[in-house]
Amino acid sequence: MITSFWQSVGSDEENEINRVASTRVDKPEIFTAQGKNGFYTWTLKPEILSTYLYSFLKGYYEDMYGNKRSVFKEDCKAVLDFLATQPTDTEIWKFLEDDWHDVLNVSSEHFFSTETLCLSCEGKVFFEEMDMHIDFFVRAIRKAYSDNPLGGCLDIYVY
């Protein structure tokens, strides 16, 4: 899930800034853009995580792992129990910094000029992208979770 990204922009006009942001996320309005001279950083607004992360992850984890599997009971439940306490944005980031969670951790993808929350890591996936498959899967997963503003921040990275 994209939490911030940076990129050069053709001009400092608001329309151009919004156009560039919409190439990375579906709802640029949930991000704050800062920059000048054609280079901007977009950061997820603090209230977005504290308001929407719990409900988003609850549905996502059930879809991804199923609530009867051990990974859900061991890893997902700890994250959801914490988020159910309605922590602030600052408390969420501290929780992520203090403890590693296989199902939610911070990642910087400098190749893609992006900082993310990694929602799941699968090992030993062999993949070669052909044509537009990754783009299709990104659009499909964003559509599936479009009822939550964070759904438009989903992305897929294959290493």
Q: What is the pTM of this model?
A: 0.80
More confident residue, 15 or 87: 87
pLDDT at 148: 95
Assess if residue 5 is contained within a domain: no
Range of the domain at 66: 46-105+129-153
Tokens 């759904």 — which residue?
151
Confidence of residue 104 (pLDDT cuts 50, 70, 90): confident
Phi then psi for residue 44, to 5 deg, are -55, 130
Assess if residue 74 is contained within a domain: yes
Q: Give 59-101 pLDDT, tens digit per residue.
A: 999 888 887 788 777 888 899 999 999 999 999 999 988 887 7
| Burial zone of 76 (CB within 10 Å; 0-12 exposed, 13-18 middle, 19+ buried) | buried
Assess if residue 119 is contained within a domain: no
Assess if residue 39 is contained within a domain: no
Tokens 């549905």 — which residue?
59
Assess if residue 138 is contained within a domain: yes
- HSE-CB at 135 with a 13 A cutoff on CA atoms is 5
Assess if residue 35 is contained within a domain: no
C-alpha–C-alpha distance, residues 71 and 151, integer Å: 22
Q: Are 2 and 153 in contact (CB under 8 A)?
A: yes
Assess if residue 116 is contained within a domain: no
Number of domains in the chain: 1
Q: Give 17-43 pLDDT, tens digit per residue.
A: 889 999 999 999 999 999 888 889 999
- Residue 35 CB coordination number (10 Å): 15
C-alpha–C-alpha distance, residues 75 and 27, integer Å: 29
Assess if residue 141 is contained within a domain: yes
Share of the chain above pLDDT 70, in %: 88
